[in-house]
A and B are shown apart, each in its own frame.
Chain A
């Protein structure tokens, strides 16, 4: 079974600085998707960014970018120019290409220091 590991339960960053959240996963599949979800205090799960494993180029969405290392099974999220609204729980998630089921990591709580 696939597993997703987030080894940083909590992180903090100064406003306007850059922070990187780590995620590793274990799979025997070659085709899959990886996601980062944000969960603010409102509890709503919000998709931040996604990466298809067959794409070599790292995904970018405005201030959010990923470092996808397929051979190392690593999928880190970089947040640039951190803002107070970025404070949330961040979950890394995995999905097989032919399967809709998501496997989540345990999350990283990100605090933004004004």
Chain B
């Protein structure tokens, strides 16, 4: 049982490049979400999904796209990376109504 997995662990991009951060969970959780963590600001919600085919915006969605074609996967896309997107990104999942969210190990992204 791998829990929540994220790839890659580290990534360096140049301004304007695009990339996809991968997230997968094997716990059959309905809810999945993406957060970014910046120094002194805690974790902020980017996008979330309550099931396959359903996504919605969180607190800081600009510059990011998501889709949820399967229960297991919830990729986060950066279409045109900007230095302001330098951050640590966490994916999380939970079974709706059960309270606890399980987090992946995070991806450290640097945009030059």
Contact = CB atoms under 8 A, between A and B. Distances in A.
Interface string B24-50: 000000010101000011111100101
A47 B94 contact: no
Given A44-B105, A101-B58, A95 B99 contact: yes
Contact of A101 (B33, B40, B88, B108): B33
Nearest to A92: B42
Contact of A102 (B41, B45, B50, B105): B45
B74 interface: no
Contacts of A35: 100
A50 B94 CA distance: 14
A16 B42 CA distance: 28
User: Which secondary structure dominates chain B's binding surface?
Assistant: strand
A104 B48 contact: no
Interface in A22-78: 33, 35, 42-45, 47, 50, 52
A91 B35 CA distance: 14
Contact of A107 (B35, B42, B106): B42
* Interface magnitude class on chain A: 20 to 34
B101 A102 contact: yes
B96 interface: yes
A44 B90 CA distance: 9
A106 to B, nearest CB: 5
Interface of B: 31, 33, 35, 40-45, 48, 50, 58, 88, 90, 92, 94, 96, 99-101, 103, 105-106, 108
Given A45-B92, A91-B43, 8 more contacts: A4-B42, A9-B40, A44-B103, A100-B96, A101-B33, A101-B48, A104-B35, A104-B43
